[in-house]
Structure 1
Amino acid sequence: MLLRRPVLDAVVDGRVTRAYRRWDRPRVKPGSRLRTAVGVLEVTGVEAVDSETLTDDDARAAGVADAATLRRELDRRPDGVVYRVGLRLAGPDPRVALRADDALDDDDRAALDARLARLDRASAHGPWTARTLTLIAENPEVRAPDLAARMGRETLPFKRDVRKLKELGLTESLPVGYRLSPRGRAYLGR
């Protein structure tokens, strides 16, 4: 579930407590956690609603000026059911602290070695983790399509693999491209 940055900021401030989406089926469930640019959001509820009953207060709780504007936004996708999704800030993204942790001891390194080896073994295109980390280290802020081409790979699968490295706290996304995190630099520089 994508939310625009102004809406995310308003969730942090407590001004936005819900979102409305038109879906063929619910795409999130209560208790789901969404990692975003402002931290982790928790879905507090999901319920189908009749868009004609939405009020201006409902719209403002979703960061929209009024009910008419909200209905127009929802009508951009004509098929499906309108769902009210309750949202709250659950806390910071744990990957931020992980990325900053560059004090890797032998156990940390062994755990990362094992995890990267598993990723390499599970890959249909062969070992990729060390090569990708090195490529990003040598080419920070380079567009993902350009990095993928240098590895002879398609962009979307390449980006999926980089997200796996990000989950381990080794890389971070930039407005354009990636870079190694402090943790990634410490790991690669051993």
Structure 2
Amino acid sequence: MLFTRDMLAKIAAGRVDLAFRSWRRPGVRCGTRLRTEAGVVEIGEVTAVTEAEVSERDALRAGFADRAALLADLRPGDDRRLYRIGVRLGGEDPRVRLREDTDLSAQELEEIVAALRGIDARSRRGPWTRNVLELVRDHPGERAAELAALAGRETVRFKADVRVLRERGLTESLAVGYRLSPRGRLVLEALRKGGAE
């Protein structure tokens, strides 16, 4: 379930506490926690509704100017159902604190490096984590498509690689492209000192 930056800002400010989606089947359920750039968005009640049950007040609570604007924003399709979804900001994304954390013992750093080498060892295409970290370091803010081309990867697959690293607090997304986090710089240096394996 995706939100625009503007909508995330409204959720974070408490001005939006509802969302509406037209899905073939529910994409989230009550209790789902979504990590976003604004923080963790918690999903409340998820209820199938008809368009007739959507009120003007619902539209305002969902961040739209009126009911007509909300309905016009939904994906069309006879095979889809409309869902009313409670949303609220549940706190900071834990990856934010993680990527700033560079106060690592030698053992902690060694464990992170070992985990990355384990990812590389299980990869069908061979080692890639260090290469992606170096690309992000050398090209901060570069579009994913350009980085993917440099890596010889399809854009979608390259983005998946970056997500693996972001989950470990090593990269962060920018409005366009990525950059290494302080933790990522530290880990990359440890990878380089250890040499290629």
**TM-score with structure 2 setting the length:** 0.89
> What does 1:22-171 align with in structure 2 at a 5 Å threshold?
22-74=22-74, 76-79=75-78, 80-171=80-171
Q: Between the two proteins, what is the percent identity of the paired residues?
A: 49
Structure 1 residue runs of 5 or longer lacking an equivalent are none
Q: By how many angstroms is 1:105 displaced?
A: 1.2
Q: When the two structures are aligned, how many residues end up with a matched partner?
A: 189
Between the aligned partners of 2:59 and 2:164, the Cα distance in structure 1 is: 36
Between the aligned partners of 2:39 and 2:141, the Cα distance in structure 1 is: 23
Query: Do structure 1's residue 178 and structure 2's residue 165 form an aligned pair?
Result: no
Between the aligned partners of 2:180 and 2:173, the Cα distance in structure 1 is: 9
Query: Which secondary structure does the structure 2 equivalent of 1:169 belong to?
Result: coil
Between the aligned partners of 2:151 and 2:9, the Cα distance in structure 1 is: 37
The residue type equivalent to 1:147 in the other structure is L
The residue type equivalent to 2:46 in the other structure is V
* Change in CA separation of 1:57 and 1:124 when aligned onto 2, cut-off 3 Å: same
Conserved 8 A contact 2:148-2:155: yes
* Change in CA separation of 1:87 and 1:115 when aligned onto 2, cut-off 3 Å: same
Conserved 8 A contact 1:104-1:187: no
Q: By how many angstroms is 1:143 displaced?
A: 2.2
Q: Which residue of 1 aligns with 2:194?
A: none
Structure 2 residue runs of 5 or longer lacking an equivalent are 191-197
Query: Do structure 1's residue 12 and structure 2's residue 12 form an aligned pair?
Result: yes
The residue type equivalent to 2:10 in the other structure is A
* RMSD of aligned Cα (Å): 1.5
* Change in CA separation of 1:50 and 1:91 when aligned onto 2, cut-off 3 Å: same
Between the aligned partners of 1:156 and 1:134, the Cα distance in structure 2 is: 19
The residue type equivalent to 1:36 in the other structure is T
